[in-house]
A = this chain, B = another copy of it.
Amino acid sequence: MEFTVDQIAQLLDGTVEGDGSQMINNLEKIQEGKPGSIGFLANLKYEKHLYSTHCSAIIVSKDFVPQKSYTTTLVKVTDPYSAFSKLLESYAELTKPNPLGVEEPSFFGNDSTIGEGFYRGAFSYIGKNCTIGDNVKIYPQVYIGDNVTIGNNCVFHPGVKIYSETKIGSYCEIHGGTIIGGDGFGFTPQADGTYNNVPQLGNVVLEDHISIGSNSTIDCATMGSTLIKKGVKIDNHVQIAHNVTIGENTVIAAQAGVAGSTIIGKNCVLAGKSSIVGHIELADNTTIGGNTGVMKSVIEPGTTLFGFIGFDVKAFLKSYSVFKKLPLLQDKLRELEKKQ
Contact = CB atoms under 8 A, between A and B. Distances in A.
Interface of A: 27-29, 32, 85, 88-89, 91-92, 95, 97, 103, 105, 107, 121-123, 125, 139-141, 143, 145-146, 157-159, 161, 163-164, 173, 175-177, 179, 182-183, 185, 187-188, 193-199, 201, 209, 211, 213-217, 219, 223-224, 231, 233, 235-237, 239, 241, 248-249, 251, 253-255, 257, 259, 266-267, 272-273, 275, 277, 290-291, 293, 295, 307-309, 311, 315, 318-320, 322-327, 329-330, 332-333, 336-337, 339-340
Contact of A251 (B107, B176, B187, B307): B187
Interface of A is mostly: loop
Nearest to A140: B125
Contacts of A239: 235-237, 254-255, 272
B319 A201 contact: no
B201 A179 contact: no
Contacts of A105: 105, 122-123
B217 A237 contact: yes
Contacts of A176: 143, 161, 163, 179, 182
Contact of A213 (B161, B217, B320): B217
Contacts of A254: 185, 217, 239, 241, 257, 259
A201 B95 contact: yes
B235 A185 contact: yes
Given A143-B140, A249-B193, A322 B332 contact: no
A255 B255 contact: yes
Contacts of A146: 97
Contact of A143 (B159, B319, B340): B159
A327 B318 contact: yes
A315 B322 contact: no
B91 A201 contact: yes
A209 B194 contact: yes
Given A249-B195, A291-B308, A336-B336, A29 B224 contact: yes
12 contacts: A85-B198, A141-B161, A183-B211, A185-B236, A215-B217, A217-B254, A273-B275, A290-B295, A308-B320, A329-B333, A333-B333, A336-B336
